[in-house]
Chain A
């Protein structure tokens, strides 16, 4: 079986490594082959950009050579796919090379699109690329006081980020003795401070205790950079001195261009993870690329990838899948520089977050290093 993995991020890498370990014998004997195509030779631990923005990490700490993470036997090419010919089981890459497959896994991820909100890109900072995180740190470290506004677009990657940047900046400003000169103003699209009700129930009193103000039902419409104001779809406006954005996201352009899904999100079966539609039988979709109504997060890609790898290995060995994805997501929530909690949930069970502790934060810091074992399919 020829298995083609498109995308070298969390979903594609964890899938390929898990699968390679499971079908090691079949790969050795030529019964199965795994090929990965990626747009980059680098693999980035994207959750680490939050720490770059706070001056607690540098971008190079978050990068490894993609090839160094892959199990022996996985064929790897830096050659982004430009055309998907799903009816004919092949893709065409930027180089012009055509790759045929029996099964394709699409895990191309998502991208922040601050340019989709008028004025947002030029007038805000965010932590969704290495360069943006460095600029965020520069502006935050030069901040002398005033109002910091946090504004959130939809959909976005990493649902905990709005809370995490707020708590992290609060500690950052406090440590610099600027708390009495700084006002935090948090905005959020729905009628509570986080999408997860139990997380919102925990976070709102934390905000109150820290004096962080908040406005809910606030969906940014545009940013008036000249007058330093952000305007909402709901009709309100908020003045800022530093605007921190969680920009709206889209899937990759190649997905849209090939007509695989509106805004780059591919319609996906929530349990089998196969693409919906007539050509979906041998197409698996992972991570942010799906249109599933669950968190766009590395954790989601991780658990989906494990399920998919186990299923594909079972198909190779005995012709049938064995698992159904249950919607499992596990997200750490940094509650400042030295405390954290977590939210674990699936399609059936909401999270029950506990009060943040130093030990969960310590584990999160350890996991930031252990991630490379996750990418290798070991953890």
Chain B
């Protein structure tokens, strides 16, 4: 299963969630994506979308520089 990282730090438009959705389309079921985001809203809006569509949240944490690392698995 492939893994990819999407660096959406400093992205206001299209923003981290739109970057994640765009990338998920190119992934295979079972692949994982780590989203890097400096937008605190990502910790809330990414899980909201992931759960609504039916993908899987793997992990969320914030590093010492304030960047959120949000890991998602494509489930369908």
Residues of chain A at the chain B interface (Cβ within 8 Å): 154-155, 159, 189-191, 195-197, 217, 219, 233-235, 248, 262-263, 270, 293-295, 327, 329, 343, 345, 347-348, 350-351
Q: Which 4 A-B pairs have the closest CB atoms?
A: A347-B10, A293-B11, A293-B8, A195-B15
Contacts known (A217-B48, A233-B53, A234-B53); A189 close to B13, Cβ less than 8 A: no
Q: Once bound together, how far apart are the Cα atoms of A3 and B48, in whole Å?
A: 47
> Are A154 and B13 closer than 8 Å at their CB atoms?
no
Contacts known (A154-B25, A197-B41, A217-B48); A348 close to B10, Cβ less than 8 A: yes
Q: Which of B8, B12, B15, B19 has the most CB of A within 10 A?
A: B12
> Are B6 and A293 closer than 8 Å at their CB atoms?
yes
Contacts known (A190-B15, A191-B49); A327 close to B10, Cβ less than 8 A: yes
Would you give the 0/1 interface string for B17-51, flagging 1 where the beta carbon is closer than 8 Å to chain A?
11101100110000000000000010001001100
Q: Once bound together, how far apart are the Cα atoms of A197 and B13, in whole Å?
A: 9
> Are A329 and B18 closer than 8 Å at their CB atoms?
no
> Are A189 and B18 closer than 8 Å at their CB atoms?
yes
- Minimum C-beta distance from B24 to chain A (A): 9
> Are A295 and B13 closer than 8 Å at their CB atoms?
yes
Number of contact residues on B: which range applies?
A: 20 to 34
Smallest CB gap from B45: residue in A: A191
B17's contact among A159, A190, A329, by CB below 8 Å, is which? A190
Residues of A within 8 Å of B14, CB to CB, are 154-155, 159, 195, 293-295
Smallest CB gap from B36: residue in A: A293
- Minimum C-beta distance from A177 to chain B (A): 36
Q: Once bound together, how far apart are the Cα atoms of A155 and B7, in whole Å?
A: 15
Question: Main secondary structure on chain A at its contact with chain B?
Answer: loop
Smallest CB gap from A198: residue in B: B12
> Are A351 and B12 closer than 8 Å at their CB atoms?
yes
Q: Once bound together, how far apart are the Cα atoms of A142 and B35, in whole Å?
A: 45
Q: Once bound together, how far apart are the Cα atoms of A260 and B13, in whole Å?
A: 24
Would you give the 0/1 interface string for B45-70, flagging 1 where the beta carbon is closer than 8 Å to chain A?
10011001100000000000000000
Q: Once bound together, how far apart are the Cα atoms of A196 and B13, in whole Å?
A: 6
- Minimum C-beta distance from A233 to chain B (A): 5
> Are B22 and A190 closer than 8 Å at their CB atoms?
no
- Minimum C-beta distance from A293 to chain B (A): 4
Contacts known (A293-B14, A347-B10); A191 close to B19, Cβ less than 8 A: no
- Minimum C-beta distance from A265 to chain B (A): 9
Residues of B within 8 Å of A329, CB to CB, are 13
Smallest CB gap from B49: residue in A: A217
Residues of B within 8 Å of A270, CB to CB, are 10
A189's contact among B6, B11, B21, by CB below 8 Å, is which? B21
> Are B53 and A195 closer than 8 Å at their CB atoms?
no
Smallest CB gap from A331: residue in B: B13
Q: Which of B9, B18, B21, B52 has the most CB of A within 10 A?
A: B18
> Are B48 and A195 closer than 8 Å at their CB atoms?
no
